């Protein structure tokens, strides 16, 4: 017998059923009363020692089927809540903290633990929380069951450092919210931190901690973690577990793979994010653990590679947890456009709320949720269940796709009332505004292409959605892709990738491609600075937009001749709260000195956050040729070479790498790296790929003072 039974809700309890070709296989804990403990722990231990290899053995079809509900949802709520909400972001006169306050404020464990006794969220209403998510158009909810501070928001048998034992509240928040989500038909998911600043066996210790690591056993901590995860799966059956905090050296790829297979053995339907693995890969390659990518606080410019599931997580204001002084909330309009942008690129949007210690959502967050919800009630079908846009670039907004339907998200309403649909090869059967059902005239442009004649005024100033229906799946002619190094030393190879079924015609003199322009057939060798333009051609007619790419042959930068230098960088540290790199010429440093390499100096680390560092020195190029520099930072950074910006990685974001190329003569070249830290994790690294292909840090010199 072959059955296909989806996860169902019965009296607030979900049972996950996995299906094989011969029989129904239940959740690993089926028939087990978790609160009795022993039976479930025995089953969990067996799964840990005898896991199935889901990473290697799951087929693409099985993977897509498991991910189907999540991919259709497109929109979810993130909740960061814990005892860190008690100090409300303030510690010893500083006010820019949130969920990282224990680490950033250098609060000893014995002192931080006292927040638990003050955590009494008597206004917590799980039904209101779940309803707020549902009414905003969100299909799933992810809440922190344990953040980096180690405090558990559920009743764990393996620690007393949880909400039932350490607080006066004594409510199982996770359990109550789980049931509330079931009543609202919102899929319940949990966040769990690999990193744990509280547990005695977790290492490495914070550098500022006085607590000894002697006797700590990381394997024992991993066992504690896998027991708690079994508790979460057995008791609450979350649809998804969202991991974080696995970047420290004690956590490895091998540990991530083992834990992933263990969790999937406990619940074959479970979805797990990519932060469980060290590499944060999100591709199903049979090697890496994790089902979807997790860009943080930003939207990838072109989405992710085809076939890769991904989700942007983002805060409503500056912080994830509650900070009573953080009133810098994004607007409803901004977030609606971000939601449409993400959906148009095939991703999900996980929008965060940081509740107060009383158990209430901030009023600003509720206002935002209501505003998004109003938009979603009208336009939700253009988000839920959609796939990425068939258009690559739209000057006026975004587009999403659902089988034989296109949804046009018009951000910029055209003044002349004419909306261009570049490259549309299919004839729409009907066009209407979702806001009011008003019909829109479609004007065909010859055999290929169309425009829409719109009303004078947009029904929504933020995002007006037009629904186009077709007899068959719509086809759009996009500009061919151009691949190749934009800057090169000697020569480079350029490839043009035509759209399937279309020719790619191109020019190399900056003129527009026409039907008589050359047809791309093989890679082009470029040995000079020039501009390539390409456009699709169908049956002798140019269709779709033009793609342009500039290629620059670089002149080697001359090395400087210096004497009396020493290894390292000179640095200056500045203190202040910034969200992008400031104008350092107007600031006075609080400390300065020399470091051996590009690393955060001790004087800056003592500030914890809200600081900037400027490094000045000379890169020692070992050979003449093309160098590609890779600047990684969390938060913003910039690299200047010979006084000109080569890489800009500015703005608040999670750890991100950006690159830039330059041809260098052998010898010393002046370099400046600027960096600011506003909160969260800290990362700063500069590497270079040399002309011979070697990658790593280059030696640096500074002037002796």
Predicted structure pTM score: 0.84
User: 70 — phi, psi (to 5°)?
Assistant: -70, -45
> Quick one: what percent of the chain has pLDDT higher than 90?
81
Residues 185, 182: Cα–Cα separation, whole Å: 5
Q: Which of 554, 559, 551 is nearest to 489 (CA)?
A: 554
Q: Residue 365's pLDDT is what?
A: 98
Q: Where are the domains of the chain?
A: 8-12+36-73+83-293, 397-469, 481-553, 565-703
Q: pLDDT by residue (tens digit) across 408-430?
A: 999 999 999 999 998 999 989 89
b/e burial code for range 207-230 (CB count within 10 A of at least 16 → b): eeeeeeeeebebeebbebbbbbbb
Q: Residue 2's pLDDT is what?
A: 33
Sheet with 397-402: list strands edge to edge: 397-402, 405-410, 464-469, 430-433
Arithmetic mean of pLDDT, 651-656? 81
Q: Residue 448's pLDDT is what?
A: 73
Kindly state the greatest CA–CA separation across the chain: 82
Q: What residues are paired with 488 via a beta bridge? A: 553
Q: What residues are paired with 192 via a beta bridge? A: 146, 243
pLDDT band at 34 (very low <50, low <70, confident <90, very high): low
Q: Residue 287's pLDDT is what?
A: 87
CATH number listed for the domain at residues 8-12+36-73+83-293: 3.20.20.80
The fold of the 565-703 domain, in CATH, is Jelly Rolls (2.60.120)
Any idea what the Cα angle at residue 232 is, between residues 231 and 238, rounded to 5°? 150
Q: How far apart are the first and last CA of the chain?
A: 81
Q: Residue 396's pLDDT is what?
A: 96
Q: pLDDT by residue (tens digit) across 305-316?
A: 888 999 999 999
pLDDT band at 547 (very low <50, low <70, confident <90, very high): very high
Cβ-Cβ contacts under 8 Å for 262 (sequence gap 6 or more): 47, 48, 51, 226, 229
pLDDT surpassing 80 at residue 679: no
Cβ-Cβ contacts under 8 Å for 245 (sequence gap 6 or more): 148, 193, 194, 195, 196, 275
Give me the chain's average pLDDT, please. Answer: 91
DSSP notation for 673-684:
EEEEE-SS--EE
pLDDT surpassing 80 at residue 46: yes
Q: Residue 13's pLDDT is what?
A: 35
Cβ-Cβ contacts under 8 Å for 46 (sequence gap 6 or more): none
Q: Which of 245, 234, 247, 241 is nearest to 260 (CA)?
A: 241
pLDDT surpassing 90 at residue 273: yes
Q: pLDDT by residue (tens digit) across 476-524?
A: 999 999 999 898 888 999 999 999 899 999 999 999 999 999 999 999 9
Arithmetic mean of pLDDT, 527-556? 94
Reported in sequence order, the residue ranges of 354-502 that DSSP labels E, i.e. its strands, are 397-402, 405-410, 418-421, 430-433, 441-444, 450-453, 464-469, 481-483, 487-488, 492-497
Six-digit token pair at 529?
Answer: 């600075």
Q: What residues are paired with 507 via a beta bridge? A: 533
pLDDT band at 22 (very low <50, low <70, confident <90, very high): very low
b/e burial code for range 78-108 (CB count within 10 A of at least 16 → b): bbbbbbbbbbbbebeebebbbbbbbbbbbbe
The three-class DSSP label of residue 241 is strand
Q: Residue 278's pLDDT is what?
A: 87
Prior bond to 635 cis, omega within 30? Answer: yes
- Whether the domain at 8-12+36-73+83-293 and the domain at 397-469 fall into the same CATH topology: no
Long-range contacts of 453-456 (CB under 8 A, 24+ apart): 453/417, 453/418, 454/410, 454/413, 454/414, 454/417, 454/418, 454/419, 455/417, 456/417
pLDDT surpassing 80 at residue 362: yes
Q: What residues are paired with 535 via a beta bridge? A: 505
Cβ-Cβ contacts under 8 Å for 229 (sequence gap 6 or more): 192, 241, 259, 262, 263, 266
pLDDT surpassing 60 at residue 4: no
Cβ atoms 519, 500 nearer than 8 A:
no
User: Is residue 177 packed enough to be buried (19+ CB in 10 Å), middle (13-18) or exposed (0-12)?
Assistant: buried
Q: Is CATH 2.60.40.1180 the classification given to domain 397-469?
A: yes
Q: pLDDT by residue (tens digit) across 134-163?
A: 999 999 999 999 999 999 999 999 999 999
Cβ atoms 252, 1 nearer than 8 A:
no
Cβ-Cβ contacts under 8 Å for 415 (sequence gap 6 or more): none
Arithmetic mean of pLDDT, 613-638? 94
Query: Which residue blocks in 563-652 are alpha helix, DSSP H?
Result: 602-605
pLDDT surpassing 50 at residue 105: yes
Q: Residue 31's pLDDT is what?
A: 57
Q: What share of the chain is helix, strand, coil (3-state, %, to 5)?
A: 20, 30, 50
Arithmetic mean of pLDDT, 243-259? 95
Residues 296, 315: Cα–Cα separation, whole Å: 9
User: 641 — phi, psi (to 5°)?
Assistant: -125, 125
* CATH among 3.40.50, 2.60.40, 1.10.720, 1.10.1220 for 481-553: 2.60.40
Q: Residue 24's pLDDT is what?
A: 36
pLDDT band at 43 (very low <50, low <70, confident <90, very high): confident
């Amino acid at each position: 017998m072959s059955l296909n039974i989806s996860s169902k809700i019965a009296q607030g309890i979900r049972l996950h059923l996995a299906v094989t070709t011969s029989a129904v296989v239940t959740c690993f804990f089926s028939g087990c009363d978790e609160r009795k403990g022993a039976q479930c722990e025995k089953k969990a231990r067996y799964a840990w020692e005898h896991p199935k290899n889901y990473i290697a053995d799951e087929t693409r079809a099985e993977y897509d089927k498991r991910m189907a509900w999540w991919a259709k949802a497109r929109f979810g709520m993130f909740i960061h809540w814990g005892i860190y909400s008690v100090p409300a972001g303030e510690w010893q006169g500083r006010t820019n903290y949130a969920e990282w306050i224990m680490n950033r404020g250098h609060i000893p464990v014995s002192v931080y633990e006292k927040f638990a006794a003050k955590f009494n969220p008597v206004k917590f209403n799980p039904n209101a929380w779940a309803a707020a998510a549902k009414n905003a158009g969100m299909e799933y909810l992810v809440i922190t069951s344990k953040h980096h501070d180690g405090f558990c928001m559920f009743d764990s048998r393996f620690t007393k450092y949880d909400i039932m034992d350490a607080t006066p509240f004594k409510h199982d928040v996770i359990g109550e919210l789980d049931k509330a989500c079931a009543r609202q038909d919102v899929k319940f998911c949990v966040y769990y931190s690999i990193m744990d600043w509280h547990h005695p066996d977790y290492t490495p210790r914070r550098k500022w901690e006085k607590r000894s690591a002697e006797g700590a056993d990381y394997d024992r901590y991993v066992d504690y973690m896998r027991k708690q995860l079994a508790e979460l799966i057995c008791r609450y059956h979350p649809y998804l577990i969202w991991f974080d905090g696995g970047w420290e050296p004690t956590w490895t790829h091998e540990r991530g793979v083992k834990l992933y297979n263990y969790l999937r053995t406990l619940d074959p339907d479970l979805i797990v994010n990519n932060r469980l693995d060290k590499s944060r890969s999100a591709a199903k390659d049979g090697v890496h653990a994790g089902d979807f990518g997790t860009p943080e606080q930003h939207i990838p410019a072109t989405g992710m590679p085809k076939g890769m599931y991904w989700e942007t997580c983002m805060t409503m204001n500056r912080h994830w947890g509650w900070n009573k002084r953080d009133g810098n909330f994004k607007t409803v309009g901004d977030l609606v456009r971000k939601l449409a942008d993400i959906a148009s690129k095939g991703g999900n949007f996980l929008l965060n709320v940081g509740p107060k210690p009383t158990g209430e959502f901030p009023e600003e967050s509720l206002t935002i949720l209501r505003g998004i919800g109003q938009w979603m009630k009208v336009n939700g079908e253009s988000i839920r269940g959609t796939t990425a846009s068939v258009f690559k670039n739209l000057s006026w907004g975004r587009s999403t796709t659902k089988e034989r339907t296109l949804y046009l998200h018009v951000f910029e309403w055209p003044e002349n009332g004419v909306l261009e649909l570049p490259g549309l090869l299919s004839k729409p059967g009907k066009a209407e505004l979702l806001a009011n059902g008003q019909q829109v005239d479609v004007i065909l442009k010859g055999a290929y292409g169309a425009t829409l004649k719109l009303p004078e005024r947009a029904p929504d100033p933020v995002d007006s959605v037009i629904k186009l229906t077709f007899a068959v799946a719509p086809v759009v002619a996009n500009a061919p892709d151009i691949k190749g190094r934009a800057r090169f030393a000697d020569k480079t190879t350029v490839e043009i990738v035509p759209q399937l079924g279309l020719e790619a015609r191109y020019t190399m003199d900056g003129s527009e491609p026409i039907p008589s322009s050359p047809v791309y057939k093989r890679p082009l060798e470029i040995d000079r600075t020039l501009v390539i333009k390409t456009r699709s051609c169908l049956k002798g007619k140019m269709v779709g937009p033009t793609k342009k790419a500039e290629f620059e042959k670089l002149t080697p930068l001359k090395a400087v001749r210096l004497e009396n230098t020493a290894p390292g960088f000179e640095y200056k540290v500045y203190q202040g709260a910034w969200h992008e790199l400031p104008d350092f010429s107007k600031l006075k440093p609080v400390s300065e000195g020399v470091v051996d390499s590009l690393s955060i100096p001790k004087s800056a680390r003592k500030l914890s956050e809200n600081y900037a560092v400027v490094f000045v020195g000379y890169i020692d190029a070992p050979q003449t040729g093309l160098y590609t520099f890779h600047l990684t930072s969390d938060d913003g950074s910039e690299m200047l070479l010979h006084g000109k910006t080569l890489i800009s990685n500015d703005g608040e974001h999670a750890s991100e790498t950006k690159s830039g190329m330059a041809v260098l003569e052998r010898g010393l070249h002046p370099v400046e790296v600027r960096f600011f830290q506003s909160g969260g994790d800290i990362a700063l690294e500069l590497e270079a790929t040399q002309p011979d292909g070697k990658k790593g840090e280059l030696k640096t010199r500074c002037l002796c003072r």
